[in-house]
Structure 1
Amino acid sequence: MPNLQLFHVPDRLYKALLLLFAFLLPVETLRASQDVQTYTSQGLVVADYQVIDLPGSDAIDLLGLRYLLQLNDWLYFGLGAHAPLVRGDYGGFMTLDATLHAQYNLYEGLFIDAGATVGGGGGGSSIAQSKELSGSGGFGIGYIGLGYEFDDHVSVGVNYAYIKFEDSQIDSSQVNFFVEKAVDYTAASYADAGKIVPALVKLLGTKEHILTFEMNNLFQIDPTGSNTKTVNTIALQFSHFLDDANYLFVEAEIGYKGLPLYNQILPGAGHRFSLTPHVHLYGQVGIGSGGYSPDLIDTGSGLLVYPKASLEYLPGDDFGLALSGGYLAAPTGTSRNYTLGAALNYHLSGAKNGTAGGRTFKGFRLSVFPQSELNVKVDGASHHDVHMLSTQLDALLNPHWYFATQVSVAYNDYLGYPGYGEILAGIGIQNRYTPSTRFQSFFQLLLGTNVDGVVFKPSVGTTYTLTDSIAFYAQVGQIMSVNSQDLYREDRPFSATSVGAGLTYRFSLP
């Protein structure tokens, strides 16, 4: 197979797209404030914890984090992840999963819940042992239990859960404990994106939110694992402000060079210091899980602690540029790292998103879909199809352009091992949506990483309106390794045709 020098081939295309982007971005950004019909969207933020006994090996404990969108009085659907904390030696084990959850009130605050989770992922104490622990990577969870909701809409409870990874050691029933918090916020139709709500209109839950895309570097301090390189990563962080200064966040980070597919997920809390109207200092601490396999980078059981500071400059209301530095440590392992990164902050909604005349509604699409990579070639040799669970979040910049992030995790093996994944980000262009528009077609260019390094993915697709907020979603594209500047393994150039279809949830936030 010919060597794909992708950084050289699309050079003119990149320049043309940037010029087109600059030309279109100011067009039709804001519309008049007439007749925005808002509604209250409800959901649950859930954390659960379970310890799984393994035959012939140390037990693994899993912390699950997920957001569940309420579909009706008792049914929810959402996305989440699982990762280990303090048991065994499984740092870097990680999953992406989707959950259908039912919850019914029995008496006052007492409720019964049940649900099913499917997804993909994996890991182990070493690359070889990951086959035994995670099998092919596909898994399912079923659970049923009881919970109690307190007056502040915080609930606690216990479930009896069964979890099984295909062809693996994980095939077990156990008790898990959960905590959930009900959340409400104001939303509007996807068609209302770009409209302005007058400043006098009071809206529920219009706290500020920030989506951060960061290029980060982990500089290892006296590493004891076999991988001693600096790990270059891509990080995505979502921050929810409780007031003007304090916020909660969740960060997902994945390696693209030095140790491709190194991964971590960290929830935490932070504080913002406003030095001037355009300069902000952020301080935050995350506690979560991550790594790759402890023989390569010793994060032990997976537990990570990550204090970090960043300095942001805001040239306007929506986008901020930031530099960050931190210290990442694994308390149950030997991994210690200094970090240094550069980030783009997109202020999605809330206090910082407004004009003197009010708040602007911004449009979003959240798509969940199975995705298959067909005609897979690795170093010129044919490989079987790779099947993944994928989710993509699109944030509209104006009616024609959007910023996209896509995360995928395989539920079958790649080169005989579990845990293949991709994380991608980029820009897309589409036809303008109106309530009478049934089809909305798009073209997008995404850049990111898979298990062996940097990949490039152009794709086209369409959405077909089913209801005001739900649409059928489909995309097809080509994914290719970027074989230049040591951004991909020389012995594993990768290419595949990508096909996916599922559902999209569309909405706008003030």
Structure 2
Amino acid sequence: MTNRSRRLSSALTLGLLASLTAHAQDSTPPDGSLRRHDALITLDYQKIKVPGDAPIDFMGFHLYHPVGERLHLGAGVYAPLVHGGYGGFMAFDLGAYLRQPISGPLFATAGLSAGGGGGGRSIAQSKVLSGTGGFVKGHVGLGWDFGRFAVGVNAAKVKFRSSAIDSTQANLFVEIPYSYLTGPFASQGTPLSAADERRAAAEVGENMLTVTLDNYRQSSPQGNFKGTLRLADLQYAHFFAPDTYWFGAIGVGYRGLPIYNQVLGGVGQRWRVAPNWALYGQLGLGSGGYSPEQIDTGPGLLVYPKLSAEYALSPTLGLSLSVGHMSAPKASSRNTTYGLALTHHLRPSRAGDEGPSHWQGFRVSLFHQTDFKLVYRDIARPPLQMIGIQVDTPLNERWYVPVQAAVAYNAYLGYPGYGELLTGLGLQSRAAASDRWQWFGQAMVGANVHGTAAKASGGVRYILDDQMSLSLNLGRLEARSSAGRRFSADTVGLGVDYRFSTPTR
């Protein structure tokens, strides 16, 4: 990635952090009760020319928060669907999005983003297609607002550093505005007031956070990889009817093909069959793979129907077993799947429930990380520059569960697409309402591109207000491949934390 691109990525990151801080401070009500926030989801689709090769198409998903009346800042993901043979290509970015009304429902848009990712038909071809993995995108266009959603088209420019992708093309988009309610982070673990209880029961829907260890047993595999693929999957689901939900999920391989990746969205249905038992059926569509040379997902399109049986361990936790069938309709990959999952149900108390609702805290951190003093196979390697996200779920004042994902925007061993996915347990100092400093440490396990990984880190957090804080941490990452080859690196990370609570039983 060029210095200019790095500066753009850093500027977007800092701008996002500053704007979220300002927005959070402006939206905090004096009574500290439930507060409403606005946001914008965008879906876009574009077909990108690749000189001397088949084109690649990108389906994009982005989440933006408003900064003032016209400007939005946010983050998102791109993945291919039906063109080319680049299944497993995936890229993440941070961006600014400007929306300017013109006349009536007609509006203009402009945007700029930068990020990292990559992929290709084979591991070797990914260097040609994705270069270093760093990319920038700019676009301008027009849209028509229908009220509950908007559609439009813009001219987009996408460029990956030192790669074959340097294209200008039409980009179709859909905007979906939405709003959500949160409470004060400091109220974590305490009961809701009577007024908040009534409002939450009327306005807050049920949500689910699910962590799954999934296994894909291949049927007649055509790629070079013939074994069972093991993935860690994180899914968020929101109920738009009492037992019907939409969901989004991202999965990453931790054994078999480390850092195999997929992103899925879809709908699901719940059937309550006994007081402590429920069945779930869901259908997911999305994109994923590693490279078609290794596992043949073709252009990337995936279809994943799945059935699971859940036992309620408590009113908020469920343990489930699942079976399903993952297929790539435009390629040969067919997989029987089975998995074990833990689900955290987030919903306020309803009529007939035992006990009041309480606040469940969350901390979402956007960070920049440098892996330095990097050694692989006893040879020193250049540092890795990464952007990432971490979601912390507090268990009490001291302990929390972190889930961390990061992707590099420069090349590793000459190839794009280095990534890490980790989870574990964290410990932090108590922080009273007047405290500004908080110490923390965390131990996590997961995977990087080589295989099983472990990371220990510690640092300090500066608390700006109830919603925002800044964090600095130092750590050590160790990983080993299936062949026993060792990866090690020291890490330093700087991030911003968005802190909030949601009502749950």
Alignment partner of 1:339 is 2:332: no
Other-structure match for 1:101? 97
Q: Tell me the residue number matched to 2:177.
A: 182
* Corresponding residue SS for 1:358: coil
Give the drift of 1:149.
Answer: 2.1
Partner-residue secondary structure (3-state), 1:390: strand
Q: Distance in 2 between matches of 1:404 and 1:352?
A: 29
Matched with 1:312 is 310
**What SS class does the counterpart of residue 54 from structure 1 fall into?**
coil
1:168 aligns with 2:163: yes
2:364 maps to 1:366: yes
CA apart distance, 1:49: 0.4
8 Å contact from structure 2 (residues 373, 490) kept in 1: yes
How far, CA to CA, are the matches of 1:38 and 1:161 in structure 2? 39
Which residue of 478, 486, 506 corresponds with 2:499? Answer: 506
Select which of 298, 321, 331 maps to 1:300.
298
Q: Structure 1: which amino acid aligns with 2:488?
A: S
Contact 1:353 1:359 in 2 (8 A): no
Q: Paired residue for 1:396? A: 394
Per the alignment, residue 455 of structure 1 pairs with 453
Compute the RMSD of aligned alpha carbons. Answer: 1.9
Partner of 1:184, secondary structure, is strand
Pair 1:500–1:307, CA change in 2 (3 A)? same
- Output the CA distance in 2 between the equivalents of 1:456 and 1:141: 34
SS in 1 for 2:198: coil
Deviation at 1:353? Answer: 12
Superposition pairs of residues 110-149 of structure 1, within 5 angstroms: 110-149=106-145
Cα separation, 1, equivalents of 2:158 and 2:350:
43
How far does residue 466 in structure 1 lie from its aligned partner after superposition?
2.6
Aligned to 1:416: 414
User: 1:221·1:336 contact (CA, 8 Å) conserved in 2?
Assistant: yes
Q: Which residue of the partner structure matches residue 195 of structure 1?
A: 190
5+ residue gaps, structure 2:
1-29
Unaligned runs of 5+ in 1: 1-33
Match of 1:67 among 55, 63, 67: 63
Residues 46 and 395 (structure 1 numbering): CA distance in 2 closer, same or farther, change over 3 Å?
Answer: same
Aligned partners of 1:253, 1:177: CA distance in 2, in Å? 26
Cα distance 1:408–1:353, how it changes in 2: closer, same or farther (>3 A)? Answer: farther
- 1:280 alignment partner AA: A
SS at match of 1:367: strand
Partner of 2:222: 224
Output aligned runs, 1:240-389, within 5 Å. Answer: 240-350=238-348, 356-389=354-387
SS of the equivalent of 2:49 reads strand
Q: Confirm or deny: 8 A CA contact 1:215 1:235 kept in the other structure.
A: yes
d(CA) in 1 for partners of 2:400, 2:360: 11
Q: Is the 8 A contact 1:207 1:351 kept in 2?
A: no
How far, CA to CA, are the matches of 2:124 and 2:351 in structure 1? 49
How far 1:370 sits from its partner (Å)? 1.2
What is the letter of the counterpart of residue 392 of structure 1?
Answer: Q
Q: Higher helix proportion, which one?
A: 2
Q: Which one-letter code corresponds to 1:136 in the other structure? A: T
- 1:352 and 1:120, CA in 2 relative to 1: closer, same or farther beyond 3 A? farther
C-alpha spacing 1:438/1:135, structure 2 compared with 1 (3 Å):
same
Partner of 1:23: none
1:459 Cα offset (Å): 0.9
* 468-477 or 241-250, which deviates more: 468-477
What CA distance in whole angstroms lies between the structure 1 residues aligned with 2:499 and 2:286? 30
8 A contact 1:347–1:353 mirrored in 2: no
Q: In the alignment, is the contact (CA less than 8 A) between 2:349 and 2:356 conserved in 1?
A: no
Partner SS, residue 361 of structure 1: strand
Paired residues, what number? 471
- Using the TM superposition, give the Cα deviation of residue 98 of structure 1 relative to its aligned residue in structure 2, in angstroms: 1.6
Secondary structure of 1:338's counterpart equals strand
**Structure 2 counterpart of 1:51, from 37, 47, 53:** 47
TM-score between the two structures when normalised by the length of structure 2: 0.90
**Cα displacement string for residues 371-430 of structure 1 (whole angstroms, at most 9, x for unaligned residues):** 110111112111111111111111222222222111111111111111110111112121
What residue identity is the alignment partner of 1:89? G
Call closer, same or farther: CA 1:476–1:352 in 2, change over 3 Å: farther
Residues 71 and 188 (structure 1 numbering): CA distance in 2 closer, same or farther, change over 3 Å? Answer: farther
Q: Deviations over 1:252-308 (max 9, x none)?
A: 111111111111101111011111232111100000000111011100000000000
- Give % identity: 43
How far apart, CA to CA, are the structure 2 residues paired with 1:121 and 1:54? 17
Which one of 73, 78, 91 corresponds to residue 74 of structure 2?
78
Q: What does residue 21 of structure 1 align with?
A: none
Distance 1:76 1:249 in 2: 24
Does structure 2 conserve the Cα–Cα contact (< 8 Å) formed by 1:36 and 1:192? no
Output the CA distance in 2 between the equivalents of 1:65 and 1:352.
Answer: 33
Aligned partners of 2:139 and 2:242: how far apart in 1?
38
Query: 1:213–1:159: structure 2 CA closer, same or farther, 3 Å change rule?
Result: same
Is the CA contact (8 Å cut-off) linking 1:116 and 1:142 kept in structure 2?
yes
> Which of residues 81, 85, 90 is equivalent to 1:89?
85
- Give the Å deviation of 1:491: 5.0
Cα deviation code 1:27-53 (max 9, x no counterpart): xxxxxxx96422101111211100001
Rounded Cα–Cα distance in structure 2 between residues aligned with 1:231 and 1:312: 23
Q: TM-score, normalised on structure 1?
A: 0.89
Cα distance in 2 for partners of 1:237, 1:436 equals 35
Structure 1 residues 114 and 434: alpha-carbon distance in aligned structure 2, compared to 1, 3 A threshold = farther
Secondary structure of the 2:199 match is coil
Aligned equivalent of 2:11: none
Instruction: Provide Cα deviations, 1:57-99, integer angstroms capped at 9, x if missing partner.
Output: 1100000112112333223222211100000000000112222
CA distance in structure 2 between the aligned counterparts of 1:351 and 1:59, rounded to whole angstroms: 51
**Contact 1:294 / 1:300 at 8 angstroms: preserved in 2?**
yes
1:158 aligns with 2:153: yes
Q: Decide whether the 8 Å contact of 1:349 with 1:362 is kept in 2.
A: no
User: C-alpha deviations, 1:156-206, integer Å up to 9, x for none?
Assistant: 111221111110011111111111211111112222222322375213741
CA distance, structure 2, for counterparts of residue 480 and residue 94 of structure 1? 24
- Name the CA shift for 1:400/1:423 in 2 (closer, same or farther; >3 Å): same
Single out whichever of 342-351 and 497-506 deviates more from structure 2: 342-351
Match of 2:442 among 425, 440, 444: 444
- Letter paired with 1:506: R
Relative distance call for 1:270 and 1:174 in structure 2 (3 A) is: same
Post-superposition offset of 1:352:
8.0
- Please state whether the residue corresponding to 1:178 is helix, strand or coil: strand
Q: Provide the residue aligned with 2:207 in structure 1.
A: 209
In structure 2, distance between residues paired with 1:280 and 1:112: 47
One-letter amino acid of the counterpart of residue 83, structure 1? A
